[in-house]
Amino acid sequence: MSQWITLDTPHGPVRAWQALPDATPRAGLVVIQEIFGANAHIRHVAGQYAAAGYAVLAPAFFDPLAPGLELDYDAAGTARGKALVDELGVDRAVDIVDAAARALAGYGKVGTVGYCWGGTIALLAAQRLGLPSASYYGARNVPFLDTPFKAPAIFHFGELDPSIPAAAVAAHREKQPAMPVYVYPADHAFNREVGSHYHAPSADLARERTLAFLEENLR
């Protein structure tokens, strides 16, 4: 079952795409968008995790600024998305994750998985909210790596990603040696099934590792 619901947040109402499994959920999961909104791709990702047994919410993080906005994967959409996440800021984004996690609390433990900008918000959810989190190609992660984690995290990167140099990946291993860091023969956004950067073998392996991580930390 999938539908839009509304979250009450400190920053006003925020829609969230809810995807529930057919059976009793094993745990809750917040899916954190890229810079393009809670669009069809993110809703598809939510459905994939619901099919794996999780009760999923994918908040529309832009709603406090531009309700209902979904952006195209082009230069204009990228520029608009970057401007919006900068305007939203990480504190408000973490508040929205917290609201989603609270809405999922009835399903048991809650984790997050985030992509691109959402990968950095997932990292912050592990640090600030104590939610086990999977971070995919978070290009904004490095400034936060010295902050203690309240919950475990797992990191996925593409070795062909020009926005995340090898030194940034190495910083994760150096500053947080207890956190698994995986690198794939792929570009940025290798999990996104639309667009030229999609790399199915890397996406499948990363999802397998993420599901194992969630199983271990949300059981």
Instruction: Judge whether residue 1 has pLDDT over 90.
Output: no
pLDDT digits (tens, 9 = 90+) for 155-202: 999 999 999 999 999 999 999 999 999 999 999 999 999 988 999 999
Instruction: Please write the tens of the pLDDT for every residue from 91-129.
Output: 999 999 999 999 999 999 999 999 999 999 999 999 999
pLDDT at position 24 is 97
3-state secondary structure 30-94: EEECCCCCCCHHHHHHHHHHHHCCEEEEEECCCCCCCCCCCCCCCHHHHHHHHHHHHHHHHHHHH
pLDDT at 146 over 90: yes
Dump pLDDT digits (tens) for 53-91: 999 999 999 999 999 999 999 999 999 999 999 999 999
Global pTM value: 0.98
The DSSP annotation for 155-186 comes to EEEETT-TTS-HHHHHHHHHH-TTS-EEEESS
Looking at the predicted structure, is the pLDDT value of residue 12 above 90?
A: yes
Length of the chain, in residues: 219
* pLDDT of res. 195: 83
pLDDT of residue 105: 97
Residues near 16 by Cβ (< 8 Å), separated by ≥ 6? 4, 5, 6, 7, 38, 57, 58, 59, 60, 100, 103
Give the whole-angstrom CA distance, residue 189 versus residue 4.
25
